[in-house]
Each structure stands twice: as C-alpha cells, then as structure tokens.
C-alpha cells in the first residue's frame, strides 16, 4: 500500500487529501457561491482554512493502491469512509491534496447510485458501461454474462425504481464485475441480498481482483480479513492505523474494546413502545469486566426495562450476533405472564465457545403479534481470549465457535 511494489505504478494515489463540510445549509450555499467565484478568478484559490460552521470530514489522507491489491477501509459510522470513495470517484472535489487515478473507475458507493430509476435494468447496463468508457459493441459482448450473473433475466425490462435493494446490488455488482474497471470502489455492497448471492459475489471478486485495484469499505471484519491485503482505519477523518489487514483489524477491535459508547443506537431500534429497554450490562462471570469476556467463560447479560402500558403474556429475547459476518449465533427466549412497571431480564450464556472477536447483543420484547421494542446492536461484547489453553482456533480464522471434541487417527 504505502510502499509501492518494485517497478510498478499504483493505479490510485491519494496524497495529503482533505475535505471539509459545513453544518449549516444556509452558510453552505453561500460558501459554495464564494468558492465558485474564487475558482474563476484564482486558479489556486486558498481553501485550506475553516469558516464558521465548517469542519474537516477528512484530513491529510495518504495511501496508494496497486493493481491486484484490495485495500480495506475500516472505521465507525461518520469516520469519512464514504466521503473518501466519493472523492476518488470524482463526485466530490478535495479541498486540499491530490488524487491521481490511472484508468477507469467503477463504484458501488450507495445502493442505486449510478442508476436512473425510470430506465429499465437493460438500459442502465448500457448507461453504466458507457460511463466506464466502454462502447456499445463491447457492452453487447458482455451483456448476456451481466444478466446471467445478476440472475435478473425476468426483470431486465422493468424500471429500476421497482427493484428491491438486493436486486439493485445484484445488477450493480454484475456490471462492475463483468466490465472490469481498473479501479473498483465497494461500499457495504454485501450488506444486503441473500447469502447465496453474496457468496457468489465474493467468489467473483476473488477471481477479478488480480486485474483491478479495489477499495473495500465494510463493517464485516471477517470478510475484510478474507479478501483484503492491506487496510486503513479512519477515525474522525484521519488515518489512525495503516498496514497489514490483520494488524489494522486488531487495532480496530482494541478501540471498540476500550470504548463503551455504541453509535447509531436509535437507527437500530424499532417497536410500538409499550415496553422499552432502558439499559444493558454485559460481563464475564469470572473476569467481571464490563463488555469483556473470555472463550469458555459464562457471559451474563442484564437488560433493564420500563412498562408504559400494562400487558400480559410477554416474550423477551436476548441474542448474540457476530459483527463480522452478521450471523446470529444464538437466541434465548423467556415468557412472562405479567410484568410490572419496571424490571430487568437476566440471561446467562454458559461456557460461551466463541472465537475471540467483537459480538453484538440484540434485545427484543413482543406480545406475540407486534414487536414492542426490537433493539439490535444494543451493546457490543469483546471476547478477548480463551480461559483454557486447549481451546485453539484454526490458522485460517474461519471458525466461529469452538466445540469440545476428541479427534484421532485409527489404523
């Protein structure tokens, strides 16, 4: 990444790039007019200072990507990951620094981005291919493969506005993977769609990555480890760590471990509201550390709740989800014939056999018909290691859980 391969020229170079935004819409429009006038009068207008209500979304970003390299871009929501991809794709201009792109760029930055909703799927294939610099003849030669890969044969003449998010992801990835731009930008493209198609996309990405330079933005750390060579970790618009993907992933997990704040709580919560969870505590039975436990230790989860309407026959549930893969590992349920004005649910998962990593705690309460409070990502728990030295995970880090076992060769 930062150190170029001998004798090769990177397809993408990002040098000292910074981007600022304005919190006030009114001032943003005024500043935009001033900037246009300055750009006309002065070719090298000074845009390095902050005006009122402005802030740096990205600051002094530096990296390179070679052909055949996949760079993971990690960071929490609001760290600047999507803004970085938009700068590289030319949707935004940097306020400082320089971005050098050698070749064509294909981007799946947001689901539906690049698609005209009133055009059919077929028409959007040709429009997107033309944007990437391909002729109609070249697109004709690839069209059947694009349709076959997307598995949307029956819907290619339908307007894209009628497509689901998964269908748009299918079509967008099919275009990008079959046309093969020199630089491919992927932003959470595997977060939607069915599992079988996601696996198909991952397999295709493995096939084409030797011919392209890929920037891969994802919260799926397991997938980043599997697909990527290098990684950068963005925090508040700056690169905090850069290097080997395993090293950067480890630093990212360490930060989550030491930070008890859990972002975007409101975005991961829904329900009718007659009962609401008020807080959550999760810890290892022996270590006692908040939101930290060990493989082989009991994990205790306590979730307080408040009742706003008297109800009967309520079902509470507590689940554990792997944040890397999105797989729900287990779900515990308990029925309550009657609940008072307030209380708490206490759940103990005995001898958890999870591999070291970060896991989300999901909470739910229903009356059998409606979800009263469904709280996904209510908290994160870090499994930091194993209590027993006999617990060993595979070198490939593909194991999700450890099951006690005996194995031997018999002749």
What is the side-by-side strand order in the sheet with 105-108?
Answer: 105-108, 183-187, 213-217, 70-74, 230-235, 238-244
pLDDT tens across the length of the chain (411 residues): 544 443 478 999 999 999 998 888 888 888 888 878 877 776 665 567 788 888 899 999 999 999 999 999 998 777 888 889 889 988 888 988 999 999 888 777 655 556 888 999 999 899 888 877 778 888 898 899 999 988 889 999 999 888 887 788 888 888 878 877 889 888 876 655 566 777 788 888 888 888 899 999 877 777 788 788 899 999 989 999 999 988 898 788 777 655 544 444 444 678 888 999 998 988 888 766 667 777 788 899 999 999 998 888 899 999 998 876 677 888 899 998 888 888 999 999 998 888 777 888 999 999 888 889 998 888 888 887 666 655 555 434 456 777 776 777 887
Q: Is residue 35 part of a domain?
A: yes
Together in a domain, 217 and 68: yes
Residue 30: per-residue pLDDT: 87
Last residue of a domain, one of 225, 258, 291: 258
Together in a domain, 143 and 31: yes
CATH code, domain carrying 88: 3.40.50.300
Q: Is residue 130 part of a domain?
A: yes
- pTM for this one? 0.62
Residue 63: per-residue pLDDT: 95
What is the count of structural domains for the chain? 2
Residue 34: per-residue pLDDT: 82
Using N-to-C axis directions, what is the helix angle for 136-150 and 121-131, rounded to 10°?
A: 130
Together in a domain, 204 and 127: yes
Beta strands 357-366; 312-322: pairing state:
antiparallel
Nearest Cα to 126, choosing from 182, 203, 178, 190? 178
Together in a domain, 138 and 26: yes
Residue 265: per-residue pLDDT: 43
Together in a domain, 26 and 163: yes
Q: Is residue 127 part of a domain?
A: yes
Residue 134: per-residue pLDDT: 77
Last residue of a domain, one of 227, 258, 289: 258
Together in a domain, 209 and 107: yes
Residue 16: per-residue pLDDT: 93
Q: Is residue 403 part of a domain?
A: no
Map tokens 């002094």 to a residue: 60
CATH code, domain carrying 292: 2.70.50.60
Together in a domain, 25 and 57: yes
| Structural domain boundaries enclosing 244 | 12-258
Q: Is residue 230 part of a domain?
A: yes
Together in a domain, 229 and 148: yes
Strands (E) across 9-88 are located at 12-22, 54-65, 70-74
What is the side-by-side strand order in the sheet with 96-101?
Answer: 54-65, 12-22, 96-101
Together in a domain, 203 and 225: yes
Together in a domain, 226 and 317: no
CA torsion angle for 148, 150, 154, 159 (degrees, to 10)?
A: -140
Q: Is residue 402 part of a domain?
A: no
Query: Quick check: helix, strand or coil at residue 209?
Result: helix
Together in a domain, 56 and 117: yes
Torsion sign across C-alpha atoms 118, 120, 123, 128: positive
Q: Is residue 6 part of a domain?
A: no
Residue 262: per-residue pLDDT: 42
């Amino acid at each position: 990444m930062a150190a170029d391969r001998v004798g090769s020229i990177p397809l993408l170079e990002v040098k000292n790039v910074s981007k600022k935004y304005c919190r006030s819409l009114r001032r943003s429009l005024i500043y935009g007019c001033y900037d246009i006038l300055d750009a006309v009068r002065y070719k090298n207008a000074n845009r390095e200072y902050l005006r009122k209500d402005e802030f740096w979304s990205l600051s002094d970003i530096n990296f390179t990507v070679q052909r055949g390299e996949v760079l993971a871009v990690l960071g929490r929501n609001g760290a600047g990951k999507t803004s970085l991809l938009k700068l590289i794709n030319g949707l935004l201009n940097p306020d400082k620094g320089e971005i050098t792109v050698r070749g064509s760029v294909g981007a799946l930055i947001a689901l539906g981005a690049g698609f005209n909703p009133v055009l059919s799927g077929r028409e959007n294939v040709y429009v997107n291919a033309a944007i990437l610099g391909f002729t109609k003849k070249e697109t004709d030669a690839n069209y059947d493969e694009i349709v076959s890969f997307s598995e949307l044969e029956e819907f290619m003449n339908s307007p894209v506005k009628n497509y689901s998010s998964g269908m748009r992801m299918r079509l967008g990835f099919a275009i990008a993977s079959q046309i093969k731009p020199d630089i491919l930008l992927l932003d959470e493209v595997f977060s939607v769609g069915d599992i079988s198609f996601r696996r198909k996309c991952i397999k295709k990405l493995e096939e084409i990555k030797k011919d392209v330079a890929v920037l891969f933005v994802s919260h799926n750390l397991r997938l980043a480890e599997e697909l990527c060579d290098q990684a950068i970790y963005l925090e508040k618009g700056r690169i905090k760590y850069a290097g080997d993907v395993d090293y950067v992933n480890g630093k990212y997990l360490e930060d989550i471990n030491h930070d008890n704040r859990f972002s975007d709580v409101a975005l991961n919560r829904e329900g009718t509201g007659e009962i609401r969870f008020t807080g959550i505590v999760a810890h290892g039975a022996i270590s006692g550390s908040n939101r930290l436990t060990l493989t082989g230790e009991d994990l205790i989860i306590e979730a307080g709740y408040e009742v706003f309407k008297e109800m009967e026959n309520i079902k509470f549930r507590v689940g554990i989800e792997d944040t890397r893969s999105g797989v729900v590992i287990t779900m515990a349920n308990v029925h309550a014939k009657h609940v008072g004005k307030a209380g708490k649910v206490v759940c103990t998962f005995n001898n958890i056999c999870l591999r070291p990593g970060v896991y989300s705690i999901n909470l739910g309460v229903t009356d059998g018909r409606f979800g009263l409070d469904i709280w996904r990502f209510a908290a994160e728990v870090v499994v930091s290691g194993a209590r027993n030295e006999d617990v060993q995970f595979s070198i490939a880090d593909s194991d999700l859980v450890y099951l006690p076992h005996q194995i031997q060769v018999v002749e």
